[in-house]
């Protein structure tokens, strides 16, 4: 790491990195379902989850001399087996999440073709598979090929559409148009005793996943002890501001039972444009959103694969998964990942509606990722005590007391999310409670069970190596 302060990245650059890893117009329809109460839950979730994750991951990342990431951090603190469990949870949760994210692209593209296709499973699955395989092939060419494309697409598809959506909603309110939600005290503060009120946490936590991916840059900031907290504050305000106002923009023009989780943002744009007789703008905004979401997906396709490659190099996975192509990419893991995502797309056939399928996969992905965050908070605590002499460029303020407060708050947020994730939402057709719970619990078991097989494979490889060394000696 270069210790020259003048070589560090700026606060503005770090804010863009953090915000770009988390913020997405894809998440807006799910949060819009909860009307004005989404303000309370977004702020609450930021306090109990978003900020703690960012702080802990920043300290861990800045303390890593060379390699960084969940697998490396966990191995260093809790051992290889727990490290493999952590990276598996991060990777497998992404596999479950990919179909929902890609279905957003498919749903958005229907506005260039026919909006009725948004409820057509065959169309959704075809577009999802085609898009993901395209992103996989792009990543096989190496990081350098996709880096500039990713940054450009994320900025174009995030800043412009969200700014426009918020502006259109503000003008809608200014004109005194009909609002589908009402900003009363009773609506702003949700009924906390009602389990349905807390279900919004699943959608909101999903929108906050991934902030730890940007924390690897904490060590590269000029004067990180002061700069990173400032960048974090600005990032949280930016993320919260765009998510709150853009989600409300959808909620004020669309009735709750009319919001489609796949293409709700485009529904809102269509409503605004139709009201002001500018339908010709729809194709342009549609293209911007498609490009933006596809571009932001590229890094999500490759990032967890790198951690899984480290695990494969330690014999937790078959030897052929260690293969890297001439661009330094774990090509075999990428291809297998694409095949598995293709199979997960069949999840859309398990639920009686597209919204139901979308919610099921979103909730399942969130639960798996939250389990990884629980491990990460424990790692944050253990690392400080187990390696007291390990110095990093960023430390959570307040010493060990500050660290405990941050980690306990984060663990509290994770536990709440895990609990409410098992409750199906009203207003979304997920079938009977028994059907939802059966599919949900079975999905979690099936996703985690391969870890035990990988442990057994690792043990066999260790025995073989020991026998080979014994025979050679």
Angle 348-356-101 from CA coordinates, rounded to 5°: 60
Measured distance CA(24)–CA(263) in Å, rounded: 13
Greater confidence (314 vs 197) lies with 314
pLDDT in tens, 389-406: 776 667 888 889 999 999
Cα separation, 413 vs 51, in Å, equals 11
C-beta of residue 263 within 8 angstroms of C-beta of residue 110:
yes
CA distance 306 to 155: 24
What would the pLDDT profile of 62-79 be if each residue is shown by its tens digit? 776 556 678 888 998 999
pLDDT in tens, 161-192: 989 999 999 999 999 988 888 877 767 776 66
Per-residue model confidence as pLDDT tens digits over 376-388: 999 999 998 888 7
Class of residue 452 by CB neighbours under 10 A (exposed 0-12, middle 13-18, buried 19+): exposed
CA end-to-end span of the chain: 41
Q: What is the mean pLDDT of residues 91-116?
A: 81
Residue 9 φ then ψ, to 5°: -80, 160
Which residues, 6 or more positions from 149, have their beta carbon under 8 angstroms from its beta carbon?
Answer: 138, 295, 298
Helix crossing, 331-344 with 80-109: angle to 10°? Answer: 60
Whole-prediction pTM: 0.82
Tell me the pLDDT tens digit for each residue of 125-162: 888 888 889 888 888 876 555 556 666 776 777 888 98
Q: All domains of the chain, ordered by start, with CATH? A: 5-464 (1.20.1740.10)
Would you place residue 300 in the very low, low, confident or very high pLDDT band (cuts 50, 70, 90)? Answer: confident
List the one residue out of 75, 57, 77 whose CA is nearest residue 394: 57
- Determine the Cα–Cα distance for residues 119 and 262; give it in Å rounded to an integer: 9
Q: How far apart are CA 79 and CA 164, in angstroms?
A: 48
Q: Which residues contact 111 (CB under 8 A, 6 or more apart)?
A: 263, 266, 270, 282, 283, 286
Q: Cα separation of 337 and 343, whole Å? A: 10
Q: How many angstroms separate the Cα of 52 from the Cα of each of 13, 48, 396?
A: 21, 7, 10
Please check the confidence at residue 243 and state whether its pLDDT lies above 70. yes
Average pLDDT, the chain: 81
What residues contact 305, with CB distance under 8 A and at least 6 apart? Answer: 91, 330, 333, 334, 337
Note the pLDDT of residue 4. Answer: 40
CA 103 to chain centre: 15
Q: What is the tens place of the pLDDT at every residue in 213-233?
A: 766 556 666 776 677 777 777
Beta-bridge mates of residue 9: 221
- In this structure, the number of other CB atoms found within 10 A of the CB of residue 423 comes to 17
CA atoms of 40 and 37, how far apart (whole Å): 5
CB 25 within 8 A of CB 158: yes
């Amino acid at each position: 790491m270069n210790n020259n302060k003048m070589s560090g990245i700026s606060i503005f650059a770090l804010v863009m990195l953090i915000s770009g890893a988390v913020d997405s117009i894809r998440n807006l329809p799910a949060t819009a379902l909860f009307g004005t109460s989404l303000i309370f839950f977004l702020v609450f979730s930021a306090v109990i989850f978003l900020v703690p994750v960012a702080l802990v991951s920043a300290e861990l990342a800045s303390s890593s001399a060379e390699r960084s990431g969940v697998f490396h951090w966990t191995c260093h603190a809790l051992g290889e087996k727990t490290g493999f469990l952590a990276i598996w949870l991060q990777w497998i949760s992404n596999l479950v999440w990919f179909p929902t994210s890609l279905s957003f692209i498919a749903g958005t593209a229907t506005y260039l073709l026919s909006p009725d296709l948004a409820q057509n499973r065959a169309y959704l699955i075809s577009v999802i598979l085609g898009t993901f395989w395209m992103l996989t092939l792009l990543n096989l060419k190496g990081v350098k090929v996709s880096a500039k494309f990713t940054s450009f697409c994320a900025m174009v598809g995030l800043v412009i559409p969200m700014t426009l959506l918020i502006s259109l909603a503000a003008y809608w309110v200014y004109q005194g148009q009909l609002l589908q939600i009402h900003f009363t005290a009773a609506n702003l503060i949700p009924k906390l005793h009602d389990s349905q009120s807390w279900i919004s946490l699943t959608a909101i936590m999903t929108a906050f996943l991934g902030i730890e991916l940007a924390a690897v840059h904490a060590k590269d900031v000029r004067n990180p002890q002061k700069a990173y907290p400032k960048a974090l504050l600005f990032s949280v305000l930016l993320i919260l501001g765009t998510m709150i106002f853009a989600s409300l923009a959808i909620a004020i023009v669309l009735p709750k039972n009319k919001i489609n989780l796949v293409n709700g943002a485009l529904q809102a744009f269509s409503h605004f444009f139709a009201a002001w007789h500018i339908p010709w703008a729809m194709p342009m905004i549609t293209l911007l959103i498609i490009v933006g979401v596809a571009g932001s997906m590229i890094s999500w396709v490759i990032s967890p694969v790198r951690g899984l490659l480290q695990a494969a190099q330690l014999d937790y996975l078959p030897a052929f998964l260690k293969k890297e192509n001439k661009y330094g990419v774990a090509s075999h893991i990428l291809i297998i990942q694409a095949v598995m995502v293709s199979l997960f797309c069949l999840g859309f056939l398990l639920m009686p509606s597209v919204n139901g399928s979308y919610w099921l996969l979103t909730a399942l992905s969130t639960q798996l990722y939250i389990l990884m965050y629980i491990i990460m908070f424990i790692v944050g605590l253990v690392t400080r005590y187990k390696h007291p002499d390990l110095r990093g460029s960023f430390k959570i303020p307040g010493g060990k007391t500050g660290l405990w407060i941050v980690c306990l708050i984060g663990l509290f947020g994770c536990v709440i999310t895990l609990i409410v994730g098992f409750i199906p939402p009203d207003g979304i057709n997920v079938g009977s409670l028994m059907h939802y719970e059966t599919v949900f619990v079975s999905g979690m078991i099936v996703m985690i069970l391969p870890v035990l097989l990988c442990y057994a494979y690792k043990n066999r490889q260790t025995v073989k190596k020991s026998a080979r060394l014994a025979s050679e000696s």
